[in-house]
A and B are shown apart, each in its own frame.
Chain A
Amino acid sequence: MALHFSSAHPISALHPLLCFFLHDTYPEMEYASGLQRQLASMKKNLFDQGYLDEQFYQLEELQDESSPNFVEEVVTLFFRDSSRLVANIDQALQKYPQDFRRLDNFMHQLKGSASSIGAAKMKNECTSFREFCNKENREGCLRSFQKVKKEHAVLKQKLENYFQLLKQVGPVDKATHSGN
């Protein structure tokens, strides 16, 4: 089977060797390993850049055979609810006079969810928003909320990519594991 690996792989140098040994028997593995590497680096970036924190590992540990897509399900759930919450906060911010108490409640909720999945950057922005809220600093709140929204959107995109890649890698993984 032809090598599909792009030369962009960090260990592309090894590919030929791998291919040599495996390509006939485990062609998928090669492909998979490349993707896996991609996946691994993507994940590493997410952590290094602070988008995710340790809590995310906790989620991964909960995943097992009985719930193989647990992490993705949770993340999907999170973005579904948080998007709604973000919209509510947006709406609430439009109101005048500002109901800081209500805003704080929303944000507390958002922060709680975000921290549960390990969304570190988002959590931090939520915290700073709450600080502005406590001081009843409307301007500060507005600015801070923009950051929250941004982090929310960025993380959403990144995790979507991550899971997409994970899906690709996953099945191949299984195939290779099964020895085929």
Chain B
Amino acid sequence: MNERMDPAPTSCGQATASSSTGRPDAAAAATGMPTEFPAGLRVLLVDDDATCLKIIEMMLRKCHYDVTTCSCAATALSMLRERKGWFDLVLSDVYMPDMDGFKLLEHIGLEMDLPVIMMSADDHKDVVMKGVTHGAVDYLIKPVRIEPLKNIWQHVVRKKQFELKELEHSGSLEENERESERHKRAMEEGDNATSGCGENLKNIKRKKEGKEEDEQDVDDQADPSQTKKPRVVWSSELHQQFVTAVNQLGIDKAVPKKILELMKVAGLTRENVASHLQKYRLYLRRLSVPQHHDRHDGPFTSAQEATFRSVGTVDGFDLQALAVSGQLLPQNLTALSSGSRRVTNTGLRMPVFDQMGFLNSGNASSTRSASVQQMNRGLSYFSGFSNSIESRQLGQSHQLVEPYGNVCLQVGEEISGLLNIPSPQATRSSLPGGISNEQVNRSLIMHMSQQGQQFSLSQQQENFHGQPLPRGQIFNGIGGHDSTKFGHQMSPNAISSHISGRTANIAQTPLPGNHINASYSSVPQALYANNIHDSCLTESAASHYPLASSIGDTPATGNVEALSNTSSLKGVTDLSNCNIYSELHQNKTQDWKLETVNISYQSGQNLAPKQNNADFGSSLVAHQDSIATVQDESSRNTCTVRKEILSVTTEIEHEKIECVAQCNSTILVENSIRLKAESMPDINQQEVLYDNIISNDLMDVGKQIPANGKGQGWSGTTPIHLDMDHSS
């Protein structure tokens, strides 16, 4: 897919040059002379009204775009998931019978990070505002004329530019500001371009932009050092350098500043090192007191927050730590990761879950190995996707861990040990969102564990926190915390939840048929959790947590998302959502095969989905902004997640209390596992997203699945730091 996308980016480069002078491409296209760009722009058109669909399709063809039509949102989502990276832009109606256009918008934003343009005959300001806040790049009022359609390519270019820039820079606040300004300017230009929509729209757009800016600013203020910083992916090499530096200084005397100096790595900031160090410390502590997971919760939580910020590091770190400890089997990691949403997408998850299940069976070692194997297998799948990239870097087990890492981490040190995530890269959480999720999950897990609930997670959380869960992997985090516990409950839960695509984990709305698709979004798992619900796929009633918001929420509940999502996963393994918690909620997923799933775990998770939703909803409300931002930018996701974590954790705790040990989670787990198995085959292709997340974990396991996953997850626009980093 990347390849496919390449022409666009390159032509974008050319186009941008020309676009500044006007819209020669559009003009050329209009005159019937197809140029390199924007002709051939791949647009997905979604509208339930056949008449409108036909008309707009014709208009788009007149603009020389490559149009694919869809009259059902669910189909559209599955198509997007199946062909990750294939589409450049999505045009969707707002009012559709099977799914609200805004929900679809959220899903797409979370999972595929594609620019989405909304359309509607409804021109009320509040509806248009809603579109803006949900992340739509534009809002067209019906009847749609061809003029505004001629300019929709600008949104693609803008997004790509924005993301590239985000990736390139090491993320200084200034940079972000500049970025926002550019973005803002671009938006304004975009406004002019779509003037056909009317003055109102422009004003609204400006407002939206302003709002976006504000949100960004808020993020910036909230985490000055972290907002919009490109995620730093802690590759194994980088981590090695880090460890060397730390050892040189002595763990007690190792301060970020000195470490940074010793490492002599360009582009690395003190903050990156600091958060990574924090994680590392946690990891070490976890290693030294493997049984005392609970204790880690406290520090973990805080650490979490810190770590969350550096998306990349968190995940990578943990995995690394895990890998280092050698305790966590790569497989486990993967499994863990798979637990997280991301995993669910790919079939990998499935195996992971299965493994998790094994782990749960109590024979830590035996199951572990079994699970590890599974995980490895699963990982291999993943590696196919994006993981391969990561895995390469990770080197081994932790590849999978990455995405799962979060989960795994949660499962416990054990897992981490197993996973041995060689390279922190995995944790890199290439998925911006993912990382956040991990963190969130971790923190959530921590909380959970603190509650004393039997969540194995809680214990694992301790372990977990050290490890940044790959994006969204956090779901897995649940399981990940207690490596020891890993064997039990956690894994299955996490996994199952993830896999079953139950909403909880998979933020990525598992596609019924395309697990993989779902997982793509591995990025903010938490986010996905929401998505998953939404995905028309099916939502089982489970209280889905709004994905967007879930990011924040889910992490803590990590699974909360998953839970809700699980419902959506009809059979999709999307569960990958780390939000194992969410999965628990899902209870609905009767299919969960994993019996072993800890009830307690589940209980935590089972928190009445409704409750969870409600809880989260409220907690989320506060973070709406952050979430919204998340949607817009993966990097923001991370930030958002962080914030959410705090709120989430409280939620989780709340939920935990509420949840009574329910067997639901078990079911969920089972489902996930089942799903995993099913999805496995599919995953290879799709889990591009997972790559990011899982790659770390999978590295080991998988064989570097063709890096297609690498950038594919994100319709070519993923800020895959993975690509950059792990292509080592």
Q: Is chain B a partner of chain A in the same complex?
A: yes
- Which residues of A come within 8 Å of B, CB atoms? 55, 58-59, 61-62, 67, 70, 73-74, 77-78, 81-82, 105, 108-109, 111-113, 115-118
- Whether B95 and A74, one on each chain, are in contact in the complex, defined by CB atoms closer than 8 angstroms, is no
Q: Whole-angstrom distance from the CB of B449 to the nearest CB of chain A?
A: 45
Q: Collect the chain B residues with CB atoms within 8 Å of residue A82's CB.
A: 51
- Whether B58 and A115, one on each chain, are in contact in the complex, defined by CB atoms closer than 8 angstroms, is no
- Whether B49 and A113, one on each chain, are in contact in the complex, defined by CB atoms closer than 8 angstroms, is yes
Q: Whole-angstrom distance from the CB of A100 to the nearest CB of chain B?
A: 16
Pick the residue among A77, A108, A116 that contacts B143 (CB under 8 A). Answer: A116
Q: Does B253 contact A (CB under 8 A)?
A: no
The answer to whether A112 and B49 touch (CB under 8 A), given A55-B143, A58-B146, is: yes
The residue on A at minimum CB distance from B58 is A62
In the A-B complex, the 7 residue pairs with the smallest Cβ-Cβ separation, listed nearest first, are A112-B121, A115-B143, A78-B51, A62-B58, A55-B143, A113-B51, A116-B143
- Whether B120 and A112, one on each chain, are in contact in the complex, defined by CB atoms closer than 8 angstroms, is yes
- Whether B54 and A74, one on each chain, are in contact in the complex, defined by CB atoms closer than 8 angstroms, is yes
Total count of chain B residues near the partner, CB < 8 A: 18
CA distance A115 to B715 in the complex (A): 33
- Whether B145 and A58, one on each chain, are in contact in the complex, defined by CB atoms closer than 8 angstroms, is yes
Q: Does B50 contact A (CB under 8 A)?
A: yes
CA distance A62 to B49 in the complex (A): 18
Q: Whole-angstrom distance from the CB of A70 to the nearest CB of chain B?
A: 6
Q: Does B268 contact A (CB under 8 A)?
A: no
Q: Does B262 contact A (CB under 8 A)?
A: no
Pick the residue among A58, A74, A81, A111 that contacts B121 (CB under 8 A). Answer: A111
Q: Whole-angstrom distance from the CB of B486 to the nearest CB of chain A?
A: 49
CA distance A78 to B122 in the complex (A): 19
The residue on B at minimum CB distance from A82 is B51
- Whether B52 and A112, one on each chain, are in contact in the complex, defined by CB atoms closer than 8 angstroms, is yes
The answer to whether A115 and B142 touch (CB under 8 A), given A62-B59, A108-B121, A108-B122, is: yes
- Whether B143 and A62, one on each chain, are in contact in the complex, defined by CB atoms closer than 8 angstroms, is no
Q: Collect the chain B residues with CB atoms within 8 Å of residue A61's CB.
A: 146
Q: Does B55 contact A (CB under 8 A)?
A: yes
Pick the residue among B52, B145, B146 that contacts A113 (CB under 8 A). Answer: B52
Q: Does B23 contact A (CB under 8 A)?
A: no
CA distance A41 to B143 in the complex (A): 25
- Which residues of B come within 8 Å of A, CB atoms? 49-52, 54-55, 58-59, 62, 95, 120-122, 142-146
Task: Determine which residue in A55, A58, A67, A108 has the highest number of CB atoms from chain B within 10 A of its CB, and name it.
Answer: A58
CA distance A108 to B145 in the complex (A): 19
Q: Whole-angstrom distance from the CB of A38 to the nearest CB of chain B?
A: 27
CA distance A116 to B140 in the complex (A): 13
CA distance A111 to B59 in the complex (A): 20
The residue on B at minimum CB distance from A64 is B62
Pick the residue among A59, A105, A109, A118 that contacts B49 (CB under 8 A). Answer: A109
Q: Collect the chain A residues with CB atoms within 8 Å of residue B143's CB.
A: 55, 58, 115-116, 118
CA distance A34 to B62 in the complex (A): 32
The residue on B at minimum CB distance from A61 is B146
- Whether A105 and B62, one on each chain, are in contact in the complex, defined by CB atoms closer than 8 angstroms, is no
Pick the residue among B55, B62, B95, B122 that contacts A116 (CB under 8 A). Answer: B55
CA distance A109 to B50 in the complex (A): 11
- Whether B58 and A81, one on each chain, are in contact in the complex, defined by CB atoms closer than 8 angstroms, is no
Q: Collect the chain B residues with CB atoms within 8 Å of residue A59's CB.
A: 55
Q: Whole-angstrom distance from the CB of B455 to the nearest CB of chain A?
A: 41
- Whether A62 and B145, one on each chain, are in contact in the complex, defined by CB atoms closer than 8 angstroms, is no
Q: Collect the chain A residues with CB atoms within 8 Å of residue B59's CB.
A: 58, 62
Q: Whole-angstrom distance from the CB of A48 to the nearest CB of chain B?
A: 20
Task: Determine which residue in A67, A117, A118 has the highest number of CB atoms from chain B within 10 A of its CB, and name it.
Answer: A117
- Whether A116 and B142, one on each chain, are in contact in the complex, defined by CB atoms closer than 8 angstroms, is yes
* A58-B143, A62-B55, A116-B51 known, 9 other contacts, Cβ within 8 Å: A67-B58, A108-B121, A111-B121, A113-B49, A116-B55, A116-B142, A116-B143, A116-B144, A117-B55
Task: Determine which residue in B54, B55, B145 has the highest number of CB atoms from chain A within 10 A of its CB, and name it.
Answer: B55
Q: Collect the chain B residues with CB atoms within 8 Å of residue A70's CB.
A: 58
Q: Collect the chain B residues with CB atoms within 8 Å of residue A55's CB.
A: 143, 145
- Whether B54 and A77, one on each chain, are in contact in the complex, defined by CB atoms closer than 8 angstroms, is yes
- Whether A77 and B121, one on each chain, are in contact in the complex, defined by CB atoms closer than 8 angstroms, is no
CA distance A78 to B143 in the complex (A): 14
The residue on A at minimum CB distance from B120 is A112
The answer to whether A112 and B142 touch (CB under 8 A), given A62-B59, A81-B49, A105-B95, is: yes
CA distance A61 to B61 in the complex (A): 12
Task: Determine which residue in A74, A112, A113, A115 has the highest number of CB atoms from chain B within 10 A of its CB, and name it.
Answer: A112
CA distance A78 to B142 in the complex (A): 15
Q: Collect the chain A residues with CB atoms within 8 Å of residue B142's CB.
A: 112, 115-116
- Whether A74 and B55, one on each chain, are in contact in the complex, defined by CB atoms closer than 8 angstroms, is yes
- Whether A77 and B50, one on each chain, are in contact in the complex, defined by CB atoms closer than 8 angstroms, is yes
CA distance A67 to B312 in the complex (A): 52
- Whether A109 and B54, one on each chain, are in contact in the complex, defined by CB atoms closer than 8 angstroms, is no
5 of the cross-chain contacts (CB-CB < 8 Å) are: A70-B58, A77-B54, A105-B95, A108-B121, A109-B95
CA distance A61 to B145 in the complex (A): 11
